[in-house]
Structure 1
Amino acid sequence: MRLVIVGDTLLDRDVDGSVRRIAPDAPAPVLEEERVSERPGGAGLAALLAAAHGYEVALVTAIAPDAAGARLIELLTAAGIEVYALPLPGTTAEKIRLRAAGQVLLRLDRGGEPQPPGDAPQAVLDVLREASAILVSDYGRGVARHPALRAAIEAAKAPVVWDPHPNGPPPVPNVRLVTPNESEVRRLAGDAGNGSGLATAQRAGQLLRQRWRAGAVVVTRGAQGAVLCHSGTTPLVIPAPRVSGGDTCGAGDSFAAAAAVALARGALVSEAVQEAVAAASAYVGRGDDMSDKSDAIERVGVQAAGQLVAAIRAKGGTVVATGGCFDLLHTGHLATLRAARSLGDCLIVCLNSDESVRGLKGPDRPLTAQADRSRLLAALDCVDAVVIFDDPTPEPVLSWLRPDVWVKGGDYDSLPETELVERWGGQTVIVPYLDGRSTTKTISEARSRR
């Protein structure tokens, strides 16, 4: 399966450093450079993200014969991407971000006004004809306007995903999916794009779908997920997983690339959009790390918990932990978890594994496997991470996490973990437990009724 990406590529350069003083000759901060990182931007970033997931990727773009262009080709080919470069008059576009403490102080753009790329060789037209899927990643610099490329894309049998730009041309007719974000929709849809929220996304998305004669338009809304507008009158709303922090630059590229790959596998448009929302959220959650870390998005596992604890402690925050089997999640559990979360800056749930539950509750338990139990817990807004343990007690995992507060729900007079938690200066507390809510009782009642 080969994904062919068509679009404008630029060179992203991040200059990171520290600011400790103001310039004596101007009211400006002085950035002391510490490191410089470079990566492909625009369509090049979309190609990089797709290649990082193991897909065969070809990039059709325009690159000038200059130092920045040579660096782009070097970075792209090193990532295993086949580059089909059209000649580009002028200079390669560059975006240089000067950053301190993770914040952008200034962005310097190079490359000037975009120039129309030169002729497309036959090899470019052949690769489009043979593609399993095509993604047009338009950054408004001219590649998506190229007449020969547009004709080849329109004639292609592969599914086409078009990521538009307000300064670019409309998609060719019969594109399978167009992926504008809310900001782009407001500029592209005219009066229909006025306002914000779900109703505006639906109204503008349907207008653009009809104008462009596209199979579907999905309006991406960042943390609010996406709205899929198709031939039906009722839109499909796909929520996004909760993500803490992260840089959203490149999330749209990740979304579009994931959608194109899913369509190439034969997924329905609705299924492709769901995969794309998850991929974009994962990208934001892990920042510039291109590896697959979906567990970090679901906040399940030792790595997710360890990273969270380190981040909270670096800020001087309070780490709270609680534990249990959570076999059938009920309102008693929810009351305990919410109370525990209110005691600090994050809540980590130490979850008994299936083996551990069987040892405690008997061979008929758990009713719900640990993979499902952990995902349900991680989906709660009061839970920040879940770590699964196999031992009869949570003491080994507590010795690793070293929470500041260890919480149990119920009417315990004492807890065996109290002495352990006190060794590192932590505190054990009990929070109220709702009467009458019990997994064992629920199971017993269900069996008696049967």
Structure 2
Amino acid sequence: MGDALLDHDLCGRAERLAPDAPVPVVHGTRRSSRPGGAALAACLAAADGRPVTLVTALGPDASSDTLRELLAGRVTLVEVPLEGTLSSKTRVLAGDRPLLRLDDGEGRAREATREAVSAIAAAGGVLVADYGRGTADVLRDALTRATAPLVWDPHVRGRPPVPGVRLATPSAQEARAFARRLDDTDSGEAAGLRTAARDARALVAAWGARAVAVTLGDRGALLSHGETPLLVPTPAAATGDPCGAGDRFAAAAAGLLADGALTEAAVQAAVHAATRYVAEGGARAVAVPDRPETGAEPAADGDTTADAVRAAARVRAAGGTVVAAGGCFDLLHAGHVALLQAARRAGDCLVVCVNSDDSVRRRKGDGRPLVPAADRVRVLRALECVDAVAVFDEDTPERILGELRPHIWAKGGDYARTALPEQPLVESWGGQVLLLPYLDGRSTTGLARRAALAPVPNGGRPT
């Protein structure tokens, strides 16, 4: 619940300055509209596969009507009355770089409704996406009484969270602004980890929050329970449009806490979710459903592959670079990990193509695989450098590559003098094959042989 906005983007190219003023000329623009504010957070939570009810203020104005259409079929909408017109913002972008933002509408929530109060009371988890436009204020009593895990994403124009929230998620700038209200003295110290830790500790005490996670952009997040903080770094550098990354973080954390996750685990998964969100195109990719975040059971092979294809499509649509790598990955070892880490650094998204059990058996013999496909997929998806996994049943990965259409197909350096049957296919859509360094002396076969020859402790008897 919180303040919904309507967002518009005007995307084009800026290649020259205007002759009458030193401003960029943007041409070839494309206009798009999407849910913003609490509405974006709700759509992101729904994309994680959870049923979501959005409690927000809407009115009879045109922007509210547009937002209702954009939300239809995504979330259950519970409205409270809006005084004025719905707030909207329009960004003018050249590529992924914002040049200008125009804000319209100053509508505010007028009053609570019985239906809104009931929705909060019945929820299994509550995320407050406060954008300073009054929805959290008119429902503050209901939020104070909420018994479900409560995550509060505050705004400097809004009030502090209600006491007892499970997790508050201010940005570093918001945490600094709230902390200054508690203590007018300002040391003048530059924003950094020391400042974020001090601010988080102060806000835990002042707000009566069980935890505060200060989001730090591409540095990750700093989690504090009021004592020694925990720094959760991003899994990889992600370049792209960061608009909405804070909503992605808060929505992922709220969903996992509602599932019963520990706060530390929820924050770590939320950092990973926000990093992927930026890499995959940010808010402009919200229309494509995402797979559930960490904590869900692994999908079936077909679902996993479909998720990988959607992830690759999102990154391509946002102008990013899709990297794919493949193999059996039976007994994952250091050589595999080094290859995958290098592959991820070559682009914005890494999809790992994995041979199915039948495919491995045909290639390696009846004694393989040692680890079934479902377990191999689960281990690979747990790696920070892996964004998605696709399973293929053929002997070679041409079919799945045709669906993914990666910009880069990464192979280990041990293939340097080997003709790759998939190379002409990858090059047919403008992709390229890259060889990456491979750690010598690492192989699944060698590991299995050494394990088989190792002495059995205690004579093989159970201990």
What is the TM-score when the length of structure 2 is the normalising length?
0.74
In the alignment, is the contact (CA less than 8 A) between 1:322 and 1:408 conserved in 2?
no
Structure 1 segment 200-211 matched on structure 2, within 5 A: 200-211=195-206
Whole-angstrom CA distance in 2 between matches of 1:125 and 1:431: 56
Q: 1:361 to 1:175 in 2, by over 3 A?
A: same
The Cα offsets for residues 316-350 of structure 1, whole Å up to 9 and x where unpaired, read as x9x99875434334445567678889999998766
Q: Report the Cα offset of residue 179 of structure 1.
A: 1.1
Pick from 326, 351, 354 the counterpart of residue 357 of structure 2.
354
Q: Report the Cα offset of residue 134 of structure 1.
A: 2.4
Whole-angstrom CA distance in 2 between matches of 1:310 and 1:174: 42
Q: Report the Cα offset of residue 209 of structure 1.
A: 0.8
Pick from 227, 239, 245 the counterpart of residue 245 of structure 1.
239
Pick from 160, 163, 170 the counterpart of residue 173 of structure 1.
163
In the alignment, is the contact (CA less than 8 A) between 1:93 and 1:110 conserved in 2?
yes
Whole-angstrom CA distance in 2 between matches of 1:375 and 1:84: 40
Bigger mean CA offset, 244-253 vs 387-396:
387-396
**1:136 alignment partner in structure 2:** 128
Q: Report the Cα offset of residue 436 of structure 1.
A: 4.3
In the alignment, is the contact (CA less than 8 A) between 2:377 and 2:389 conserved in 1?
yes
Q: What one-letter code is carried by the residue in structure 1 that aligns with 2:119?
A: V
Pick from 282, 289, 302 the counterpart of residue 292 of structure 1.
289
Whole-angstrom CA distance in 1 between matches of 2:11 and 2:384: 33
In the alignment, is the contact (CA less than 8 A) between 2:40 and 2:247 conserved in 1?
yes
SS of the residue corresponding to residue 213 of structure 2 reads strand
Bigger mean CA offset, 58-67 vs 419-428:
419-428
Q: 1:47 to 1:193 in 2, by over 3 A?
A: farther
Pick from 85, 107, 120 the counterpart of residue 112 of structure 2.
120
Q: What one-letter code is carried by the residue in structure 2 that aligns with 1:125?
A: V
SS of the residue corresponding to residue 303 of structure 1 reads helix
| Percent of pairs with identical residues | 48
Q: Report the Cα offset of residue 163 of structure 1.
A: 0.7
Does residue 5 of structure 2 align to residue 10 of structure 1? yes
In the alignment, is the contact (CA less than 8 A) between 2:3 and 2:133 conserved in 1?
yes
**2:66 alignment partner in structure 1:** 71
**1:61 alignment partner in structure 2:** 56
Q: 1:309 to 1:121 in 2, by over 3 A?
A: closer
**2:330 alignment partner in structure 1:** 327
Which ranges in structure 1 are unaligned for 5 or more consecutive residues? none
Whole-angstrom CA distance in 2 between matches of 1:116 and 1:65: 13
Bigger mean CA offset, 133-142 vs 350-359:
350-359
**1:145 alignment partner in structure 2:** 137
Does residue 436 of structure 2 align to residue 442 of structure 1? no
Does residue 99 of structure 2 align to residue 105 of structure 1? yes
Bigger mean CA offset, 219-228 vs 389-398:
389-398
Q: What one-letter code is carried by the residue in structure 2 that aligns with 1:227?
A: L
Pick from 184, 202, 217 the counterpart of residue 174 of structure 2.
184
**2:183 alignment partner in structure 1:** none
SS of the residue corresponding to residue 260 of structure 1 reads helix
Q: Report the Cα offset of residue 100 of structure 1.
A: 3.1
Q: Report the Cα offset of residue 94 of structure 1.
A: 1.9
Q: Radius of gyration: which is bigger?
A: 1
Q: What one-letter code is carried by the residue in structure 2 that aligns with 1:176?
A: R
In the alignment, is the contact (CA less than 8 A) between 1:48 and 1:81 conserved in 2?
no
In the alignment, is the contact (CA less than 8 A) between 2:6 and 2:88 conserved in 1?
yes
**1:82 alignment partner in structure 2:** 77
Does residue 45 of structure 2 align to residue 50 of structure 1? yes
Q: 1:377 to 1:110 in 2, by over 3 A?
A: same
Q: What one-letter code is carried by the residue in structure 2 that aligns with 1:256?
A: A
Whole-angstrom CA distance in 2 between matches of 1:81 and 1:274: 28
Whole-angstrom CA distance in 2 between matches of 1:320 and 1:56: 32
Bigger mean CA offset, 92-101 vs 386-395:
386-395
In the alignment, is the contact (CA less than 8 A) between 1:193 and 1:204 conserved in 2?
no
Q: Report the Cα offset of residue 162 of structure 1.
A: 0.9
Q: Report the Cα offset of residue 195 of structure 1.
A: 4.4
SS of the residue corresponding to residue 285 of structure 2 reads coil
SS of the residue corresponding to residue 92 of structure 1 reads coil
**2:461 alignment partner in structure 1:** none
**2:460 alignment partner in structure 1:** none
Bigger mean CA offset, 101-110 vs 241-250:
241-250
In the alignment, is the contact (CA less than 8 A) between 2:91 and 2:100 conserved in 1?
yes
| Superposition RMSD in Å | 4.5
Q: 1:410 to 1:296 in 2, by over 3 A?
A: farther
SS of the residue corresponding to residue 189 of structure 1 reads helix
Whole-angstrom CA distance in 1 between matches of 2:34 and 2:433: 48
**2:301 alignment partner in structure 1:** none
Which ranges in structure 2 are unaligned for 5 or more consecutive residues? 181-185, 299-303, 457-463
The Cα offsets for residues 357-413 of structure 1, whole Å up to 9 and x where unpaired, read as 33333333333344554566677788888655434456777898799888554599x
Whole-angstrom CA distance in 2 between matches of 1:124 and 1:427: 53
